[in-house]
Amino acid sequence: MSALRELNQEVILDHGKEPRNFGRPEAPSCQSHGHNPLCGDTLTIYLTLADGVVDDIRFEGRGCAISIASASMMTELLKGKTVDQVKVLFEQFHGLVTSGAAACEAGFETNDLDKLVVLSGVREFPMRVKCATLAWHTMKAALENNGEEVTTE
């Protein structure tokens, strides 16, 4: 196994074992629940918005290391971003884990996404793509405030 692959696994395991921003904020502006029936992952994403900016983002749930790590890394990245920036980051992350393109070819222009590249290996395993994207789709649904549960099926 290459040193880079080992490092990527260490980052995923670290976030999976000690997720950042885990828990429910006092007064979220919006929230959504997501479920991956194939893996059993369940997540609720809570967003606190202030003047079109993500003031706080947290999550609760359980799942595999990839699902929890993706949610943890997402929350770190999205704090302080505008809603428009969040939507762009969603599209860029989705492209990273679903396309065969390298991160630089997926349209990433900021160093913010460097940390997410560790999840790009899931694109080789379609079942794992659903684990990595569950938090992101759930966050997008929370922003859209449509009240529907997100499912990967």
pLDDT in tens, 92-112: 899 889 885 554 444 555 566
User: How is residue 29 annotated by DSSP?
Assistant: S
CATH of the domain spanning 3-151? 3.90.1010.10
Q: Residues 6 or more apart from 120 whose CB is under 8 A from it?
A: 96, 97, 103
**42-60: per-residue pLDDT in tens?**
999 999 999 999 999 999 9
**10-44: per-residue pLDDT in tens?**
888 999 999 999 999 999 999 999 999 988 999 99
**Can you give the pLDDT at residue 104?**
47
Give the burial string for 7-28 (b: 16+ CB within 10 Å, else e).
ebeebbeebbeebbbeeeeeeb
Angstrom distance (rounded) from CA 99 to CA 47? 28
SS3 content of the chain, % helix, strand, coil (to 5): 55, 20, 25
Parse the chain into domains and list their residue ranges: 3-151
pTM: predicted TM-score of the whole model, two decimal places: 0.90
